Structure formats: C-alpha cells, structure tokens
C-alpha cells in the first residue's frame, strides 16, 4: 500500500464542510486528581513542565505501575526525576533519577519515556527507555541522549547519543553547525526497530529551514542510529514545525501531531500515514486540529488513541489554548470536539499546560492526563488527573 497523508479533513470533495455531528463518540468525566511533584517556593522557575508517563504492561508482576518524568528546574545540575504510582495515580513517590554522567551538563529538557513492547536488538522486552536533551548551564550545546533501565525504573544507564546540536536557544543567529536539536519522541516500528522523532534547527542557512522534524532509526536497540530522515519541513526560513508526537491508529496507520511556531496562535496540525517511516510530502502543512466553533490548540501537542467511541476508536489531542483535550472518532476527518478540562490552568501563565500528556489506561476505559499547573506567578507543579471514558449512546 502506498503511503498517504490525509488532506483537507474539514472538507468534502465538493468543497463543502463535513457534517459536524457525531464527530466524537466519547465523553470524559474526571474521577480524581493527585500531585506528582510540587516544587519548593525557592526553586528555579518555572518549577516543572513537560510531563511524560507510561503504564508498565511488559514487566510481569509490575504491570499496572505508572512511571512519570518531567523537566525539573533547579539551581543545581538538573536530572530527570522518575516518579512511581502503584495505586492508579492516587499517589506518587520519587523512585529514582536519571543523571548525565557522560558530559556532566545535566538532564535538562524534554524527557520522554518508553517501555519496549518487544525485544529490540540487545534490549529485552519490558526495558524502560528515556530520551532527553542534555544541555549545559550556559546552553552552549544540545544533545539527545538515550538511557535504559532493566529494573522498572529503579536504576538507569547511558545507551547512546541519538543526535547532537549547538546553542540551545530558540532560533539562534548562528551557523547551522551551531544550532540546536530538541524534543525527542521514542517509539517502536511495526517490525521491532527503535525510532526517535525530534525537532532540528541545523538546516537554517544551508537549506533555508528555520526548524524541521526528522527521525532516526536504530536496528540494534539504540546502540547506533541510522542516517537522519526529514519528515516535515518548510522552506523560507520562517515556519518552525516542532514537538512531534506519534501514535498508532487502526488498520496499521499512524498519526503525527506537531505545532507550527511563527503562525498566528501557534496552531497544531496532524498528518496520518500508513508508514511510521514516511509521512508524505515534507512541505504539506497538515490538517488543523480545531472545533466547529473555532476553538483550537496553541502549541505543545500530544496525541493518543483509544478503541472506544466507534468503529475506528477515538483520537485524543492535547495542547494549550481554548480547550485542553480535543477528540475525534472519525480518524481525524471533520472537526474535533472539546472534552471537559481535566486540569484547570491559567493560560496567562506561559508555563501552565506546557506540553502535557495523555495516557490511556485499562484498555482505553480511562485517560490519565499529566499537566503543569500554576501554583504562583513563577512556579508550576505536575498534576495527574484521571478520567473515566464514557461511550455516547
């Protein structure tokens, strides 16, 4: 089957808008919430952001355990903390931390967790992986490193450097070789290879891309990485697609979401492909994530899929903006529907809601939402909200 990207998901072939009814077959109802981590009053701003969470399902008696990590801001050398919950997110405790012992710079930004569903190279099924951005205090470089844990997150060891870049500031006025890389996202290809998507600024002057989305594949469990392949890129030196997140859909398809910085309100787009390695024309803008009333998301997207809601299940996309979870039960066709907000945030705080995540639990019957929530003008904590999924009659 040839690769494809879904175009014009809001329109019928004759140019009219698609019908907006029955675009979403579920409702979310909040059940409970808890605090994963709360920074002390004197901690470095903004405290905590960019949470990620997994539920173990390939580790025997540990199955059902939740592991979470996030950006943890500190005046000392930063690490990626690992928090554990063994009671369906009712409570959390600090289990371990991932340290940058290779460069000594610190595990600073954009951690992402993955439990291997199959063996990959020399890594056994159930191994926990974490990728994140290793950045020194002066922000002079950026490196996406990969770590592994073979004991369900208690201890960690370095595996490899996925890709490295330069000065870790947004759109630095420097040569390509000293521009940064950002935001790793790990998953596994259908044939059991490790794949990492990320944002890359290293093609600015040479190829005219402000920032693009790319991926690398490892056939040996993350020890070595193949050549980078570009997935989403726009010439002209202005548009900055960023923060790629990928989820599997029915019928062997995949969805990628990403933000578009330097467009008004930083809209979120998606594209769908039948190959996790090929996302169609790199300069296809993508399909907008928006509701019939014009509500939209503003950057920092995350996507997940659950089987509830209809024959093709339901796509859930989070971000910032008018509503914080949007859902569509038509494989992305038509408008999305706003779900009840699970974590109340103040959008005037730039860090509130920044790169939250959703995690389906119990076969999609529940959704766990981890989100940075403001506790002061300068600090955010990480809140976990659990919602039941109801199928509409």
For residues 353 and 347, is the Cβ–Cβ distance under 8 A? Answer: yes
For residues 231 and 279, is the Cβ–Cβ distance under 8 A? Answer: yes
Confidence (pLDDT) at 324: 76
pLDDT in tens, 276-313: 999 999 999 999 999 988 889 999 999 999 999 999 99
How is domain 26-391 classified at the architecture level of CATH?
A: 6 Propeller (2.120)
For residues 79 and 107, is the Cβ–Cβ distance under 8 A? Answer: yes
| φ and ψ of 281, to 5 deg | -65, 125
Q: Which residues, other chains included, contact 153 with Cβ-Cβ below 8 Å and sequence gap of 6+?
A: 67, 82, 84, 95, 96, 128
- 364 preceded by a cis bond (ω within 30 of 0): no
pLDDT in tens, 144-166: 999 999 999 999 999 999 999 99
Confidence (pLDDT) at 2: 47
Of all residues in the chain, the percent with pLDDT exceeding 70 is 94
CA separation for the pair 316, 367 (Å, rounded): 10
Output the six-digit token pair for 132: 């994140």
Could you tell me whether strands 66-72 and 48-55 are parallel, antiparallel, or unpaired per DSSP bridges? antiparallel
- Give the residues of the chain that fall short of pLDDT 70: 1-8, 11-22, 322-323
Q: Cα–chain-centroid distance for residue 11?
A: 28
Confidence (pLDDT) at 322: 62
Q: Considering only the C-alpha atoms of the chain, give the largest distance between any 2 of them, rounded to a whole number of Å.
A: 59
Q: Which residues pair with 81 in a beta bridge?
A: 97
Mean pLDDT of the chain: 93
Confidence (pLDDT) at 20: 57
Confidence (pLDDT) at 1: 39
**What region, left, alpha or beta, does residue 312 occupy, with left being phi > 0 and alpha being psi -120 to 50 degrees?**
alpha
Q: Which residues, other chains included, contact 21 with Cβ-Cβ below 8 Å and sequence gap of 6+?
A: none
- Taking the CB of residue 369, how many other CB atoms lie within 10 A of it? 29
CA separation for the pair 94, 102 (Å, rounded): 23
- Taking the CB of residue 2, how many other CB atoms lie within 10 A of it? 7
């Amino acid at each position: 089957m040839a690769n494809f990207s879904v175009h014009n998901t809001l329109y019928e072939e004759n140019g009219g808008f698609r019908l907006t009814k029955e675009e979403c077959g579920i409702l979310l109802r909040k059940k409970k919430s808890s605090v994963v981590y709360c920074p002390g009053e004197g901690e470095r701003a903004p405290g905590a952001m960019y949470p990620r969470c997994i539920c173990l399902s390939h580790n025997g008696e540990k199955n059902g355990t939740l592991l979470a990590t996030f950006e943890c801001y500190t005046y000392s050398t930063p690490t990626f903390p690992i928090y554990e919950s063994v009671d369906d997110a009712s409570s959390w405790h600090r289990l371990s931390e991932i340290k940058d012992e290779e460069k000594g710079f610190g595990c600073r930004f954009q951690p992402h967790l993955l439990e291997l569903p199959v063996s990959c190279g020399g890594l056994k099924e159930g191994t926990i992986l974490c990728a994140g951005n290793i950045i020194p205090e002066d922000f002079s470089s950026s490196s996406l490193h990969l770590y592994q844990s073979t004991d369900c997150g208690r201890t960690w060891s370095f595996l490899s450097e996925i890709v490295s870049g330069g000065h870790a500031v947004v759109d630095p006025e420097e040569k390509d070789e000293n521009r940064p890389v950002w935001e790793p996202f790990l998953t596994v290809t259908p044939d059991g290879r490790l794949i990492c998507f990320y944002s890359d600024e290293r093609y600015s002057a040479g190829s005219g891309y402000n920032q693009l989305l790319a991926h690398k594949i490892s056939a040996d469990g993350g020890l070595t990485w193949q050549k980078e392949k570009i997935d989403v890129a726009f010439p002209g030196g202005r548009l900055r697609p960023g923060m790629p997140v990928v989820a599997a859909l029915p019928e062997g398809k995949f969805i990628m979401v990403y933000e578009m910085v330097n467009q008004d309100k930083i809209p979120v787009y998606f594209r769908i492909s039948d190959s996790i390695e090929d996302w169609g024309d790199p300069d296809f803008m993508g399909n907008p994530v928006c509701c019939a009333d014009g509500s939209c998301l503003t950057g920092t997207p995350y996507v997940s899929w659950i089987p509830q809601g209809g024959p093709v299940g339901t796509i859930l996309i989070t971000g910032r903006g008018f509503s914080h979870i949007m859902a569509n039960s038509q494989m992305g066709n038509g408008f999305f529907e706003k779900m009840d907000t699970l974590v109340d945030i103040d959008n005037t705080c730039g860090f509130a809601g920044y790169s939250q995540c959703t995690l389906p639990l119990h076969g999609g019957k529940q959704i766990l939402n981890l989100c940075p929530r403001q506790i002061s003008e300068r600090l955010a904590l990480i809140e976990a909200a659990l919602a039941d999924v109801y199928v509409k009659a």
